Amino acid sequence: MNNASSASPFTERASGGVTFMQADNLSSFPGLVHAFTMRAGGVSEGIYSSLNLGTNRGDEPEKVDENYSRLCAALGIEKSCLVVSKQVHEDTVRVVSERDFRPSVLSPVNYSADGLITNIPDIPLMVFAADCIPVLLCAADSHAIGAVHAGWRGTMLDIAGKAVEKLCAEFGGEAKNIYAAIGAGIGKCCFEVGQEVYDAALSLGLGGENEFTTDDGGGKYHVDLKEINRRLLVRAGVPQENIALNSECTFCLCDKYWSHRATNGKRGVQAAVIALTSGGV
């Protein structure tokens, strides 16, 4: 993975002025809709320009609402059925149903979860990120889906592996039939961390030093969160060949994606969204 010479397993597409990335492995399922959003295609201005999907970052609510309308129209999903969560950098995976519908996309959510799963068609699951790692899951045998927000804390808590386990436990099916897409997030190039995060990464037991970590010897460490999440998915039983990883770094590409670190927090939010359509996977 992360082999610069290999073709990306993601394709950039546009619809109705909204551009988004799609993982080729998930695009191959006709009964599935998914997207990893980027900055372009919305109506927000200034530091939120333009497809900001964050409702609590100070952007004008009417513009955020319009951004949701454009994205949902571009993907052919129902805005009123979109389910999100309060993301708290923990490892709770919530089983989503119609009870999670809100009056509007601007309405607050009264539960926390960093992972969402369902097997009900036409309920799009959405997670947010701006450097953190978004992961989408499709269980091809049990016709279930998942969306995961993995920042460094969630990554070290194995939220990705726990989402795979819960998909299997709740809906049947086996991890070997799960397909996963790891979206753009901060790369090892730009994710400088303290020793605490570096030590936590190594303690996951996913491989040796320098495989996904760097210690410059001067007290600076770098960690590859996308590669760690890939390895966590493999350890949970997802076949390596079923996992697509977008190697793009949100910090390096901060005009294309929102990056919390590159903007010192003055930013909008991108999202990863996935839905089963009524026909199923």
Q: Which of 84, 187, 212, 223 binds Zn ion (CB under 5 A)?
A: 187
Query: Can residue 258 be called a binding residue for Zn ion (CB under 5 A)?
Result: no
Part of the chain binding Zn ion (CB under 5 A), chosen from 45-53, 124-132, 242-250, 258-266: 242-250
Query: Can residue 189 be called a binding residue for Zn ion (CB under 5 A)?
Result: yes
CB 124 within 8 A of CB 150: no
Count of residues of this chain found to bind Zn ion when the rule CB under 5 A is applied: 6
Q: Is 122 helix (H, G, I), strand (E, B) or coil?
A: coil
Cβ nearer to Zn ion, comparing 91 with 131: 131
Query: Can residue 81 be called a binding residue for Zn ion (CB under 5 A)?
Result: no
**What is the nearest approach in angstroms of Zn ion to the Cβ of residue 187?**
4
CB 150 within 8 A of CB 160: yes
Q: Which of 113, 167, 228, 249 binds Zn ion (CB under 5 A)?
A: 249
CA distances to 70, 84, 99, 232, 277 from 123, in Å: 17, 10, 11, 26, 8
**What is the nearest approach in angstroms of Zn ion to the Cβ of residue 166?**
31
Q: Which residue has the tokens 């990335």?
A: 21
Q: Which of 190, 200, 204, 234 binds Zn ion (CB under 5 A)?
A: 190
CB 114 within 8 A of CB 128: no
End-to-end CA distance of the chain: 27
Q: Is 17 helix (H, G, I), strand (E, B) or coil?
A: coil
**What is the nearest approach in angstroms of Zn ion to the Cβ of residue 188?**
8
Strands 243-245 and 178-182, how do they pair?
Answer: parallel
Residue ranges in contact with Zn ion by CB under 5 A: 187, 189-190, 249, 251-252
